[in-house]
Structure 1
Amino acid sequence: MSIQQNLEHIISRIRAAEARAGRPKGSARLVAVSKTFPACDVLACYDAGQRVFGENRVQEALEKIPALPPDTEWHLIGPLQRNKVRKALEHFTLIHAVDSLRLAQFLDTVAQETGKRPRILLEVNVGAEDSKFGFSPELLERDWEELARLGHIEIAGLMCIPPPVDDPEEARPYFRRLRELRDSLAVKSGMPLPELSMGMSHDFETAVEEGATLVRVGTALFGGRAYAPAPSF
């Protein structure tokens, strides 16, 4: 199928999941994960009606941003290195993967220096996986008061990547845990924390049913990625 057909199919599945959960139409938004895909594919997706795109790396995004119309919304969904923070604050509407108090404090400092007020999400390692970054739920609750005091960033909500599973239903407890954690922190702090970034190509419908406001879909939209082979020595 074409990118336009894929987009229409994904949006219809998101809307159906919203309806099953009794959620308002449009309460979950698609972030089209365009990492590794060329600007021409991103533009084709834009022309089909998509406006929000997610990139993993600042440098790759900077190569594509000039090729897209100015109303395109760019999200940084991959890990953020400190030396890329200034560029990220210039070009991204939302930073999804702030994975430590230290990084949040650094973002706050740079935001103060530059006059920016970035919207960020805090990444939570809901599966307690050694291979993944992010706050444990316990650490996030412990660090919450310090995070909430940062005056130059807007904590918009939480983000997670659950452990890989074959059946999307197996991801449901992780999505539910993130939503419950967000709700608890919102009540504790009085902050609205409207965003939950969770769900990808294989499980986004389950994530929407559990409260996702942002789902990150790439493969189901653009097709499989062709990564460069590792060099042989």
Structure 2
Amino acid sequence: MPRTALTRDDVLDAAAALVRQLGPEALTMRKLAAELGTAVTSIYWHVGNRESLLDELVARTVREMGAIAPTGRGPLDRVLSIARAQRRMLRDRPHLIAMVHERGLTELMFLPAQQALVHELHDAGLRGARAAEALRAIEFHVIGFVLVERNRERSPAQSPAEQDLWDTATAGHDPALARALAAPPDPERLFTTTTRALVGSLLCV
């Protein structure tokens, strides 16, 4: 079968995949051409030089983060869906998000998700300063949670490890608590629990 002609989106998809896996330093036009099985000149023809390519990856990331849409019936579920989507996208794109931040576009990137949150907060009856405080609390929680997750994943091996520190004595003579704290945390469950508690208290539900 004849090979399908290379498109600009093909180049951007491959470049984004390389940055996600290895970081922007690993993205060279030669490596990208090798990944796509094409000539370097073809890459330049589709996306210009490397800086133009990086700029387009940043613009694309901003657009993707802006595509977050709520799901669910009530304000609580819809706010939770926005928070989950935002966390997932931040975790999936750490290098791309860092590139957005370096170009001073972080606030612009977060604006659509924040506007979606504002809509849900208004539907829940929050307006003015109360809505602003709720919005910031949710955003600080989501972004802070992701930062803690990444810090735990990248931290050097701890000695003593967390599971070695918790026993009946350190857990206030609560053996069930000691066992639970010695086990590795479940980030998905923890995020849902903490976000639901936070949003529920903000919406008074």
Task: Give the alignment's TM-score, normalised by structure 2.
Answer: 0.26
Whose RCO is larger (CA < 8 A, sep 6+)? 1
Q: Going by fraction, where is strand more abundant, 1 or 2?
A: 1
Task: Give the alignment's TM-score, normalised by structure 1.
Answer: 0.24
Q: Going by fraction, where is helix more abundant, 1 or 2?
A: 2
- Structure whose CA Rg is larger: 2
